[in-house]
Amino acid sequence: MNSAEGKSHMADSREVMNIRQASQYLGVSPDTLYKYVNEQKIPAFKLGNRWRFKKSKLDQWMEEKSMELEPRGKKKVKVAVKAAGQP
């Protein structure tokens, strides 16, 4: 294992991650992650003045979000139909 692989593996295996590690783990930019935190869309907590993310909570959050996809899509269709003035 080279040092780049080791760093990547370490970031993904840590239970508590900083914003950079969590953004890499989730595949979003740190700016997007800050936006989600400020909108309280993602589980996070402050340790001192820095945001921290528990891997187990992020995994649970992703699982919940993946389960919402189907009903959410149906809701959007319903809203679009209502907006179009159809019952």
CA angle in degrees (0–180, nearest 5) for 14-58-17: 30
- The pLDDT of residue 11 is 47
User: Whole domain around residue 51: which residue ranges?
Assistant: 3-83
The single-letter code of the amino acid at 36 is: Y
Count structural domains, the chain.
1
Mean pLDDT of 10-27: 85
Which CATH number covers residue 66? 1.10.10
What's the whole-number mean pLDDT along residues 4-23? 72
Q: How many CB atoms lie within 10 A of CB 26?
A: 17
Query: If pLDDT is split at 50, 70 and 90, which confidence band does 63 have?
Result: very high
State the pLDDT at residue 76. 54
Is the pLDDT reported for residue 17 higher than 60? Answer: yes
The 3 state secondary structure assigned to the chain is CCHHHHHHHHHHHCCEECHHHHHHHHCCCHHHHHHHHHCCCCCCEEECCEEEEEHHHHHHHHHHHHHHHHHHHHHHHHHHHHHCCCC
In this prediction, residue 6 has a pLDDT band, given cuts at 50, 70 and 90, of very low
